[in-house]
Structure 1
Amino acid sequence: MKSTYLFFTTFLAMTSFAFALDLSPLQDFCVATNDIKTGVLVNGQYCKDPKLVTADDFFFSVKEGVVSSPVGTQVTLVTVNEILGLNTLGVSLARIDFAPKGINPPHTHPRATEILMVLDGTLNVGFYTSNQESSTPITKDLNKGDVFVFPIGLIHFEHNTGDGNAVAISGFSSQNPGIIRIIKDTFEFNPKNYSELLTKAFQMDNNIHT
């Protein structure tokens, strides 16, 4: 009985260890490709033949953003769509250019923690905790060189509080962090009877939404 128990325990430990290792890439890289003729199937995804990989598969040039949006920001993403070599590596980033008083409105990334560094200017940033009783804002004024972290899935924002332009770089713990724009997506989503739902949810006049 003891030997059977020992074998069973050892087997579970080994399989659990194996499953944990499988979560990590099993090759140096997996440059994404849609060409199944030249691609190699690795871990369920088609990857470019490593012999055909070049430095350009890991390169992207981020230009200064031209801010033209109504909220005063321009976000330049660098995900697996821009750098095919990011596939399976679990990271990405973005450059955010702010006009004076520009904002990056409340939003959330469902698949990634975000770490932001201010390159120039002054930002007020923050996120909201998910406490069911009362959501608590965690905010901070940031200057050039300051770094702030937004935990995965939590609603957060950035606001240029200075009189000049501001620039920040954000890193994400996913090659495709995703984004849900709280205000924009809420009001653009329009199923049946949605105006009535918003009217009650925001306690406002129905004409404001319609």
Structure 2
Amino acid sequence: MTNYCKKKTGAKLNGFAYKSNILANDFFFAGLAKLGLTNNTLGATVTTANVLQITGLNTLGVSMARIDYAPGGLNPPDTHPRATEIVFVLEGALDVGFVTTDNKLFSKTIKKPVAGTQRVAGALFASSPTVDDAVLTKAFQVGTEVVEKIKSKFAPKK
């Protein structure tokens, strides 16, 4: 297992002290399983799970968060430079919006599990507007005929 850093002592890497005695507990955090209080101004609470809570994540570029909402609750606009955000709704529905770096807004209402799932194949081969064939052929290193064949499998049945 790779060495990582911990906040307490020693030489620093990524702002956290180097640790060589890695324990299984360094990769565990029970906080995401706990309900957050929503009786505040925004009607929402964010519980983060990053290197501060899960010390084994240091240098891995991984973090997670749980957001609990009251009906009508709001998580204010925020940014995640060079990061990915995945939204999973356990109960109810959530209006989610993402603004790209070229200021395009993508929004969607996500309902409890499965309804908000984004399948990679459908996103790439059945999107509207479509992903350019040249991008798909280069990304997957296949010919245009293979891309067209895959796209045809997603065409609406007549």
Q: TM-score range by the shorter chain?
A: 0.5 to 0.7
Q: 2:26 aligns with which of 48, 57, 61?
A: 57
- Residues 97-122 of structure 1, C-alpha deviations (whole Å, 9 max, x = no match): 00001111212122422111111110
* Alignment partner of 1:139 is 2:107: yes
Check 1:43–1:71 CA distance in 2 against 1; reply closer, same or farther (3 A cut).
closer
| Deviation at residue 128 of structure 1 after TM alignment | 2.1
TM-score (structure 2 length as normaliser): 0.62
- Residues 138-189 of structure 1, C-alpha deviations (whole Å, 9 max, x = no match): 11010111246xxxxxxxxxxxxxxxxxxxxxxxxxxxxxxxxxxxxxxxxx
Letter in 2 for 1:59: F
Q: Which residue of 2 aligns with 1:120?
A: 91
| Deviation at residue 85 of structure 1 after TM alignment | 0.7
* % identical equivalent positions: 45
TM-score (structure 1 length as normaliser): 0.48
| CA distance, structure 1, for counterparts of residue 90 and residue 110 of structure 2 | 10
Decide whether the 8 Å contact of 1:115 with 1:147 is kept in 2: no
Please give the residue correspondences for 1:42-191 in structure 2 after superposition, counting only pairs within 5 Å. Answer: 46-50=17-21, 53-62=22-31, 63-131=34-102, 135-145=103-113, 146-147=116-117
- Residues 6-34 of structure 1, C-alpha deviations (whole Å, 9 max, x = no match): xxxxxxxxxxxxxxxxxxxxx62414243
| Deviation at residue 44 of structure 1 after TM alignment | 9.3
Whichever structure has more strand as a proportion of its residues is: 1
Check 1:45–1:79 CA distance in 2 against 1; reply closer, same or farther (3 A cut).
closer
Decide whether the 8 Å contact of 1:126 with 1:137 is kept in 2: yes
Q: 2:4 aligns with which of 11, 24, 30?
A: 30
| CA distance, structure 2, for counterparts of residue 42 and residue 138 of structure 1 | 36
Gaps of 5+ in 2: 119-158
**1:85 aligns to what SS in structure 2?**
helix
| CA distance, structure 2, for counterparts of residue 83 and residue 137 of structure 1 | 32
| Deviation at residue 71 of structure 1 after TM alignment | 1.2
Letter in 2 for 1:57: D
| Deviation at residue 89 of structure 1 after TM alignment | 1.2
| CA distance, structure 2, for counterparts of residue 84 and residue 60 of structure 1 | 9
Count of equivalent residues: 114
| Deviation at residue 92 of structure 1 after TM alignment | 0.8
Check 1:77–1:147 CA distance in 2 against 1; reply closer, same or farther (3 A cut).
farther
Gaps of 5+ in 1: 1-26, 149-210
